[in-house]
Structure 1
């Protein structure tokens, strides 16, 4: 049938199972928005307050479901406002398709009003991007974009569509989405045999799991693998939830803000098994001192990650779930070893903890959220101390329950992601744990939450400072607090109420319990402003450039 480019876009979105997109209109996407009006009963459009909020919401939707998140913006500033959200998705391997409008073909390259080369700008932060210059290529391009976003290691793809392409008419023929097969062609029997030999010979194995295990939905296989091997398990920030946080074998996060047991185990193990992880600098710290006594087995879907940061001894390239399945079939059960007993002793000797002094403590707030949600909530975070406290003190049991900007560290990420995750998973309680600095970057998305009655809860850990940067200044810059003391008079309760949300101001544990109880019972957006001390710091912390066993604790 003959359709306009805008209608073809709608039909292609329907082909891909897209039921919701996040966006903001403008001149160069008017044809697309006209089509959205016609398709409004099939594709829900969420009008965010800012294009960056749209990108973060699409990201949160994708992380909460594993499906592709979709965002839409006009040309020029609309497109560039997506860039931070696209980069966030790229760094954390999140499947996203960003659709932008552009000026008509005849005006491209002439510095036309609201024209930017968005494909050039986003080339380093997308898996692939396109500009469509022929309406006959539009459907195929949209289909390729969704395929690329999901195949192999996921990531964002951008499709830029000049305005006249969306108005032109061509033949459209519906197609079923191309099946995305798991990456298994590079997994050889020799690889599996070599890995099994390593595992059999090891006396001190240690499993380090990253976000790739979540993308592969490999939770069950990972648990079986660890329990058969009788090996302790640590996680990167992005890997939280891939292995149950309450499991006996779990030692917590590894790296700069990792637990002392995790960092000691990495230093003393004789075999480090990295699963869906990329050895980021926040995990490894001083590279020459990382896992100095260990052979390293790296299992990952992306060959570009092998030997990129840390030299491995053996590696297997392929889908993590499939690799673990094949290993589990042939792995002989190990006995509970002296190594495991030593790691358990470290867990008893060096537990995560904090000093209580009668004041409202951020760690206690996170523990109360865990207790009052019975560990069943999905937690999004902003970036900074709030992010690490959430990661440390909420015990994530399942994949896709911790949603945070890891690789890029995007302040202002959490609120948009929280909205996207709540719309994706309406049956779940979604809570955004924020710092006051991060929250103010994109607090305008409260208007979005209220407009669509998205019942999120925002818990602000308000210390009146840019906490993580100030902590570094305190520890490593001789307490020279340059531009990190906010000294703002913002009333977050009144701000919430101005947007139409409920707001609570709390200064102690009892007030928090009462406010959070009300928030859980209220089917509307809620902001809880929690006053904490500016000197509450994140521990443990590894100084920059130090070996990861050189952990600074609160003591």
Structure 2
């Protein structure tokens, strides 16, 4: 039947079972927003304070729910304000469809007002980009975009509609195709035929080879990477680890892929990895990395990484194999499917001597003395008082590492953090998306005073939509991680890292109509967090910490994984 082009866009969103969209309107996308007005009872639009906040919110929604996030923005600066959010999603394989509108065909390429080649800009940081010049292609483009974003290795996709395509007078032929039947559409089938949408079926011979390698190993170590989380393969990974009876190191992006409190967990691996994880990596005879790309924060010195081990990489993306660390064996396929095939063939193993060598190295809980509030006290208070399934969204820096070290993440989507791109300002937007996608769960946003300045305007969004998000600011008056490097590596030359300036975060919270607390002791922290849990509205807790608190352990970039600067 004939429908308006903009109506077809909305119907395609409903096809994909989209009920929440994050965005910010502007001139070129007004036709789309005018159509959205007709769908406000079926598609809930969240107006953020800034397009970057909308991008991070769509990202947090996607990561925490496992669905595809959706984000709208207008042309020019609206579209370019998405770029950091797009790159963040791309580096961490988060499925989002970004929808922008551009100038008309008649003015395209003539430096029209707010014109920018956003498809060209976004091409290196997306799985695909589409510039829609012909309205008749809208259904195919929309269906392809969602399929590409969600399948294989997930990631962001951008669709840019020329404004004339969205004119109210433009009509196209359209038939509603429910999501359950989307895969049978000709456009999707053509993509699938070219293997762009299919996760490769693991090679049975490769599975058998790894089964034999496991049988010969005396000191196996597993790495739980982001692919376990993205692929929702946590149950299969846990079965695999328990069958191998092997220690498990967890990457930053792997948080929630394996229970943080499990007896086999050795903690984080890499630059700020635990002594147990890093030593186990150095001394194991078989290293099996699942959904891990061996970034420079994990394999700090690739040529010596796991030098005593046979290295096995399991990944859905063939381009990641041997990119950073040369492997002795690899298996291409989704984490879930590979693990299912391995679990079906593995007997029960036992490695008591190896575990006894590694597991005692996990850092024990040390009682802290003195009057100063410490990061550990803050996080242990949150962990003790908050429900076990609380979602934690972090920004980037010291507080991020402390949060990952001290929380036990038990399921995919419980930890939301920018691991690959390291985006300061990610956390509050991500927390907004997570709360909207998981209204029954407590959402805590941990941030530093430097990071919070980059996204605090989204407190307006928190207040307007009545989101009871608890923001905990690790306020040490400095760009803490950068200062830590300056302290340890740059001979205490503190160049432009001291944040001796406003705002007063308690007054800022109150200015946005939220509750603010300032805490300087563990008792004050406990009281503030307890009140925040029952406040029924957004709260900001300003935790005053010592400027020279450091993240421990630490290995310098490019150093051997057991060459600790700090323990």
When normalised by structure 2's length, the TM-score is 0.96
Corresponding residue for residue 175 of structure 1:
177
In the TM superposition, what is the alpha-carbon distance from 1:352 to its structure 2 partner? 6.4
Question: Is residue 511 of structure 2 the alignment partner of residue 498 of structure 1?
Answer: yes
- Aligned residue in 2 for 1:337: 352
Correspondence for 1:4: 4
State yes or no: 1:464 paired with 2:466: no
* Match for residue 451 of structure 1 among 454, 457, 464: 464
Shift in Å, 1:375: 2.5
Aligned pairs for 1:10-409 (under 5 A) are: 10-167=10-167, 168-177=170-179, 178-179=182-183, 183=198, 185-347=200-362, 350-351=363-364, 355-409=368-422
CA contact (8 A) 2:93 2:154 kept: yes
What is the CA distance between 1:522 and its match in structure 2?
1.1
Equivalences for residues 403-552 of structure 1 within 5 A? 403-552=416-565
RMSD over aligned CA atoms reads 1.3
Counterparts of 2:336 and 2:263 in 1: how far apart (Å)? 22
Q: CA deviation at 1:211?
A: 0.7
CA contact (8 A) 1:259 1:352 kept: no
Q: Is the 8 A contact 1:64 1:424 kept in 2?
A: yes
SS in 2 for 1:88: helix
Q: Is the 8 A contact 1:354 1:363 kept in 2?
A: no
Q: Which runs of 4+ in 1 moved over 6 A?
A: none
**Contact 1:184–1:322 (Cα < 8 Å) also in 2:** no
Q: Give the Cα–Cα distance (whole angstroms) in 2 for the partners of residues 502 and 189 of structure 1.
A: 57
* Distance in 2 separating the partners of 1:456 and 1:354: 30
Residues 352 and 145 of structure 1, relative CA distance in 2, 3 Å threshold: farther
- Contact 2:227–2:290 at 8 Å: present in 1 too? yes
Q: Is the 8 A contact 1:375 1:394 kept in 2?
A: no
> What displacement does 1:241 show?
1.0
Q: What CA distance in whole angstroms lies between the structure 2 residues aligned with 1:37 and 1:400?
A: 31
The offset of 1:364, in angstroms, is 1.3
CA distance in 2, matches of 1:326, 1:186: 10
SS in 1 for 2:41: coil
For the 8 Å contact 1:127–1:155, the answer to whether it is kept is yes
Secondary structure at 1:158 match in 2: strand
Q: Distance in 2 between matches of 1:100 and 1:252?
A: 41
- CA shift for structure 1 position 146: 0.3
Q: Which runs of 5+ in 1 are unaligned?
A: none
For the structure 1 residues 450 and 254, does the alpha-carbon distance in structure 2 shift closer, same or farther, using more than 3 Å as the test?
same
Deviations 1:461-511 (A, max 9, x none): 100100000110011000000010011031111101111111111111111
Structure 2 distance, partners of 1:258, 1:18, is 38
Show CA shifts across 1:526-552 (max 9, x none).
111110010111110101211011123
Partner SS, residue 170 of structure 1: strand
The secondary structure found in structure 1 opposite 2:533 is: helix
Q: Which runs of 5 or more residues in structure 2 are unaligned?
A: none
Q: Distance in 1 between matches of 2:267 and 2:368?
A: 20
Partner Cα distance (1:122, 1:305) in 2: 21
Q: Is the partner of 2:97 in helix, strand or coil?
A: strand
SS at match of 1:58: helix
Structure-2 change in CA distance of 1:44 and 1:374 (3 Å): closer
Q: Do 2:218 and 2:351's aligned partners in 1 also have CA atoms closer than 8 Å?
A: no
For residues 302 and 59 of structure 2, the distance between their equivalents in structure 1, rounded to whole angstroms, comes to 31
Shift of 1:391: 0.5
**How far 1:6 sits from its partner (Å)?**
1.2
Cα shift at 1:413: 0.5
Task: Work out the CA distance in 2 between the residues paired with 1:439 and 1:289.
Answer: 37
Say which SS state the counterpart of residue 13 (structure 2) adopts.
Answer: helix
Check 1:198–1:104 CA distance in 2 against 1; reply closer, same or farther (3 A cut). Answer: same
Displacement of 1:60 = 0.2
For 1:188 and 1:255, how far apart are their aligned partners in 2?
30
Structure 1 residue 354: deviation in Å? Answer: 7.9
The alignment partner of 1:284 has SS state of: coil
Contact 2:219/2:351, CA 8 A, preserved across alignment? no
Q: 1:288 to 1:131 in 2, by over 3 A?
A: same
Deviation for aligned residue 1:410: 0.3
* Distance in 1 separating the partners of 2:160 and 2:325: 37
Residue correspondences, number: 552
CA displacement 1:350-388 (0-9 Å, x = unmatched): 436585432100121111111111432000001100100
Structure 2 counterpart SS, 1:264: helix
Contact 2:296 2:557 in 1 (8 A): no
Contact 1:183 1:319 in 2 (8 A): no
Shift of 1:176: 2.9
Instruction: State TM-score, norm by structure 1.
Output: 0.98
